[in-house]
Structure 1
Amino acid sequence: MIYEVSHRTTISYGVPVSQARFNIRLRPYGWPGQAIIAQKLEFGPQPDEWRDEVGPYCVNRSVIGYSGRLSELVIESRFTVDIDKRPPADDGPMLRQLRQEALGTRDLSVLSPAPYLFASRIADANSAIGDWAGDLMSSEQPIVTAASAVMNAIHRDFAYRPGATSSATPPAEAFARREGVCQDFAHVMIVALRSQGIPAAYVSGYLRTEPPPGQERLVGADAMHAWVAVWCGAQLGWIGFDPTNDCLALGNHILIAMGRDYADVSPIDGTFVGSAPQNMATAVDVIAQD
């Protein structure tokens, strides 16, 4: 399926700021089953400095800077992508085998499971989440079955409630409250899987805006979405699990970036000189070319 994606962000300041610097992570990363046909990133006003980089992790980053005063910044990302992701051929190795394989890997590529085995800045270790996850899985389960059990439990027991949390809410708090949004659910699932020795990564991306006839609209299709990539062994590789919608991330999911947690793939962050209040408005559209 070929998709046309448009993402427009407008950042406005109460009074002009100066020496503004931004990291923009909106250019899609190449991924198995995902071919980038065309892409364009535009800024208004045009930045005084602009460089494109890759990394760290599976991230395309654009670094821009303004030396003068800035009152409003418009960022527009448009791209065309061909998605052909298939369900896994089988349920993968048993957990006990997967743990040994992950710990024993010597892979140093960007797709190595090693960076995703341990706690990170946001997805830190939590005993309550670890104990909860341990009750859902056993060492004699295949990895796809085990990860699906955690995904199913989050979808079943947690309430999707926009506004209940913020980007600063730690996974432990979202877990204790059993509510949040896609970012919270992804972080809880990552902490849960890592507690059991399973490599798990945070994915930011998009969902198809309008579903095919007869199918329900996916939750989170109006903005950037988040799900979890689970390393399922060398044969299966990375597989996406969407706990918000209780499904595998296949033809309706478009990957932009993958990192250890949200801090690695945040769409926009930066600094400026000044103390002005700021407002951010975002519009996302994902259209399938039937």
Structure 2
Amino acid sequence: MHYRVIHKTEYDYCESVGLSYNEARLLPRFTANQSCQAASLTIDPPPTDYSEREDFFGNRVAFFSIREPHQRFIVTATSEVQIASQFGQLDFSQGTDWENVRLSLRQQRDPQTLDALQYVLDSPFVAANAELATYAQPSFPHGRPLLEAVHDLMGRIHGDFTYDPHFTTLATPLAAVLEHRRGVCQDFAHLAIGCLRSQGLAARYVSGYIETLPPPGKEKLVGSDASHAWFSVFIPELGWMDFDPTNNQIPVDQHIIVGWGRDYGDVTPLKGVIFGGGEHELAVSVDVRNLGD
């Protein structure tokens, strides 16, 4: 599928900002099944300095500074992406059981497995603990194939938790999400990652977008017209495979990947430091248009 994405972020400040340094992760990355055909950032006021690089995880990062006084700051990311299905029909009851996958992560030393090991460890937003292990346990009985176990965990999170954009902020701990069974896509991705890491498995956070227009006769997907988040698990025989607990689906060609990392902190769309500004208002709009095959 072919998509055009326009992601606009606007800050309005009550006082003048004299200087700002910014870092943006808004340009889609290239993957085995995703090709970014065009991508650009429009910045107002125009930046004094601008550069791009890849971060540790291979995500595209733009650095820029604005050194003229301003009370409004607008960043618009425009991109076109082509996505193909990565996997064919999968039999969740087949494949390596989750305990042997955990064992292989501890024993194998090939480059792909060594890279995956960093996603077994705790990260700033996600720390494995007994509560997460307890919640995950019903999905991980002895000998169950990893694919089947993760698919079951995704379905349980979708069924047990309520999508509530008013309940959490970035500062809300994962323990509160687990206790109250409420949150948004970022929370559900973090929850799944914590559950998987509590079992000794490698899981990473994926940031991007989801197609906004539903097929005829289908319900609109939660997360439309906004940044979206899901998780990916390392499966030795397949590589990394994505799961979307917010919508209880395995991404095929509706999910556009911007970046991935250990948790949200590694793929924050826009962050920086400003001098001045005082109180501010933030407005974000996202438009994802399906341009066909």
TM-score (norm 1): 0.95
Which of 191, 194, 199 does residue 196 from structure 1 map onto?
Answer: 199
1:57 match: 57
Identify the residue that residue 257 of structure 1 maps to in structure 2: 259
The residue aligned with 2:271 is 269
2:168 aligns with one of 165, 168, 176: 165
- Counterpart contact for 1:222–1:283, Cα < 8 Å: yes
Q: Secondary structure at the match of 1:162?
A: coil
Q: Distance in 2 between matches of 1:252 and 1:94?
A: 28
Please tell me the residue identity of whatever aligns with 2:249: C
2:64, 2:195 → 1: CA distance?
36
| Partner SS, residue 9 of structure 2 | strand
Query: Could you say what secondary structure the match of 2:50 adopts?
Result: strand
Distance 1:221 1:278, change over 3 A: same
Say whether the 8 Å CA contact 2:105–2:113 is kept in structure 1. Answer: no
Distance 1:138 1:2, change over 3 A: same
For 1:209 and 1:157, the matched residues in 2 are separated by: 24
The worse-fitting range, judged by mean Cα deviation, of 180-189 and 15-24 is 15-24
Question: Does residue 1:12 correspond to 2:12, yes or no?
Answer: yes
1:1-290 correspondence to structure 2 within 5 Å: 1-87=1-87, 89-91=90-92, 92-108=95-111, 112-233=115-236, 235-274=237-276, 276-290=278-292
1:55: how far off? 1.1
Q: Pick closer, same or farther for the CA change 1:30–1:68 going to 2, 3 Å.
A: same
Structure-2 change in CA distance of 1:239 and 1:111 (3 Å): farther
Counterpart code for 1:270: G
* Paired residue type of 2:157: I
Any idea what the Cα deviations from partners look like across 1:131-177, whole Å, max 9, x if unmatched? 11123212411111111111111100101111111122121111111
Distance 2:11 2:104 in 1: 45
CA distance in 2, matches of 1:185, 1:49: 37
Deviation at 1:32, TM superposition (A): 1.8
Following superposition, the deviation at residue 111 of structure 1 comes to: 9.0
In structure 1, distance between residues paired with 2:187 and 2:18: 33
Letter in 1 for 2:270: I
Instruction: Output the CA distance in 2 between the equivalents of 1:275 and 1:2.
Output: 39
Between the aligned partners of 1:16 and 1:68, the Cα distance in structure 2 is: 10
Conserved in 2, the CA contact under 8 Å of 1:57 and 1:110? Answer: no
* Aligned-partner SS, 1:52: strand
Q: How many residues align?
A: 289
Could you tell me the percent identity over the aligned residues? 35
Q: Which runs of 5+ in 2 are unaligned?
A: none
Structure 1 gaps of 5+ residues are none
Residues 12-43 of structure 1 show CA distances to partners (whole Å, capped at 9, x for unaligned) of 11101222111100011111211111111111
Q: Tell me how far 1:228 sits from its aligned partner.
A: 0.4
Q: Distance in 1 between matches of 2:41 and 2:114?
A: 25
Q: Distance in 2 between matches of 1:67 and 1:139?
A: 59
**TM-score for the superposition, normalised by structure 2:** 0.94
What is the CA deviation profile of residues 45-90 of structure 1, one whole-angstrom value per residue up to 9, with x for unaligned ones?
1111111110121321111112232311111111111111244544
